């Protein structure tokens, strides 16, 4: 799809929205209100019977393992109650390390996390974790800031690079309603890039903002921490970062332990 140099939208035909295979989704939860908000949106998405969600909670030390297991199991049970195939795992160590290690060992099509709230496990601040995941997670990341309805107007903000086309492919695979529509916005460099993008999302009534760009530009001072951090902190709707980093951070030791799977009816 050609980019629009003026920043004007180009409508993406919803006829291209085809999900040829199941989605593997990793849901990061710390038991906080912010995580619960993200879980509400995830449970409301029109997921298919072949899609599967794994709820992961990190235990910073062995003393937190029982609480972490209960938190992950509770999230998985809520998804099961919504008719979604789900299971739970517990990661050991720092939350970001545990989640990244899980994604490296068991790749996922989408990582979902909240962005605000103080978790019960080791006093971990969810917002700082979501920002770190935006920088290190080797998977597209959906961050949910506040209560949101199922998205029906997706704004894809990209820099026009070939790699940014991945954002469009991810949009086509998202479990969205059939009447959902997508439009496009050309990201422009500069200190006010985030403000312009937020204003455009508001003006178009977007309820999901998808960000795609050349991964090599993540070291650009305008993009990180500027653009991504501002969008995560101030967007009125969920933000999907569709471009994973070139080289994810790798934990120094194994940090993920599989626990008993929740039964799928």
Indicate if 30 and 141 belong to the same structural domain: yes
Q: Is residue 15 part of a domain?
A: no
Q: Is residue 19 part of a domain?
A: no
Indicate if 130 and 173 belong to the same structural domain: no
Q: Which residue has 């479990």 as its token pair?
A: 175
Mean pLDDT of the chain: 80
Indicate if 127 and 97 belong to the same structural domain: yes
Q: What is the DSSP secondary structure assignment for residue 72, as one 8-state letter? A: H
Q: Which residue has 């019977």 as its token pair?
A: 49
> If we measure between CA atoms, which residue out of 102, 143, 176, 175 comes closest to residue 242?
143
Q: Is residue 93 part of a domain?
A: yes
Indicate if 31 and 48 belong to the same structural domain: yes
Indicate if 129 and 156 belong to the same structural domain: no
Per residue in 199-253, pLDDT tens? Answer: 999 999 999 999 888 766 655 544 545 788 888 888 999 999 987 665 555 544 4
Q: What is the DSSP secondary structure assignment for residue 116, as one 8-state letter? A: S
So what's the pLDDT on residue 172? 85
Indicate if 136 and 42 belong to the same structural domain: yes
Q: Is residue 221 part of a domain?
A: yes
> If we measure between CA atoms, which residue out of 173, 111, 166, 165 comes closest to residue 138?
111
Q: Max Cα separation, the chain?
A: 55
Indicate if 162 and 142 belong to the same structural domain: no
Backbone phi and psi for residue 231, each to the nearest 5 degrees, phi listed first: -65, -45
Q: Burial code of 30-58, b = ≥16 C-beta within 10 A, e = fewer?
A: bbbebbbbbbbbbbebebeeebbbbbbbb
Indicate if 131 and 154 belong to the same structural domain: no
Domain of residue 63, CATH code: 3.40.50.620
Domain count, the chain: 2
Q: Is residue 6 part of a domain?
A: no
d(CA 9, CA 204): 10
Indicate if 51 and 131 belong to the same structural domain: yes
Distance of alpha carbon 29 from the chain centroid:
12
Indicate if 86 and 62 belong to the same structural domain: yes
**Domain range for residue 169?**
148-241
Count, in order, helices (H) and strands (E) of the chain: 7, 10
Q: Residue 19: pLDDT band by 50, 70, 90 thresholds?
A: low
Q: Which residue has 């029906």 as its token pair?
A: 152
Q: Give me the mean pLDDT over the 100-108 stretch.
A: 94
Question: Any idea which of 68-72, 115-119, 150-154, 170-174 has the lowest mean pLDDT?
Answer: 115-119
Q: Is residue 216 part of a domain?
A: yes
Query: Distance of CA 72 to CAs 24, 119, 248, Å?
Result: 17, 13, 24
> If we measure between CA atoms, which residue out of 20, 6, 41 comes closest to residue 144?
41
Per residue in 121-177, pLDDT tens? Answer: 444 545 678 888 888 889 999 999 888 899 999 999 988 877 777 777 888 889 999
Q: Give me the mean pLDDT over the 63-75 stretch.
A: 94
Determine contact, residues 177/150, Cβ cutoff 8 Å: yes
Distance of alpha carbon 189 from the chain centroid:
23
């Amino acid at each position: 799809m050609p980019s629009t140099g003026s920043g004007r939208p180009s409508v993406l035909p919803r006829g291209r929205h085809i999900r040829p295979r199941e989605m593997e989704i990793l849901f990061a939860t710390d038991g906080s209100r912010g995580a619960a908000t993200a879980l509400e949106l995830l449970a409301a998405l029109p997921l298919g019977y072949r899609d599967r969600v794994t709820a992961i909670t990190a235990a910073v030390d062995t003393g937190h393992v029982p609480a972490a297991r209960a938190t992950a199991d509770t999230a998985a049970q809520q998804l099961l109650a919504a008719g979604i195939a789900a299971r739970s795992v517990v990661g050991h160590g720092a939350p970001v390390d545990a989640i990244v290690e899980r994604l490296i060992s068991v790749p996922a099509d989408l990582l979902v996390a909240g962005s605000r709230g103080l978790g019960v496990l080791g006093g971990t601040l969810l917002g700082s974790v979501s920002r770190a995941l935006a920088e290190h997670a080797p998977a597209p990341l959906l961050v949910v800031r506040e209560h949101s309805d199922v998205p029906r107007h997706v704004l894809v903000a990209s820099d026009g690079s070939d790699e940014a086309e991945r954002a469009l492919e991810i949009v086509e695979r998202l479990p969205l309603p059939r009447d959902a529509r997508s439009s496009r916005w050309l990201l422009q460099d500069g200190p006010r890039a985030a403000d312009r993008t937020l204003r455009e999302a508001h003006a178009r009534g977007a309820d999901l903002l998808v960000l795609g760009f050349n991964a090599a530009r993540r070291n650009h001072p305008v993009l990180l921490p500027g653009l991504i951090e501002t969008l995560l902190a101030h967007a009125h709707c969920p933000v999907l970062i569709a471009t994973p980093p070139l080289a994810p951070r790798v934990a120094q030791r194994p940090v993920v332990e599989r626990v008993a799977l929740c039964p799928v009816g």
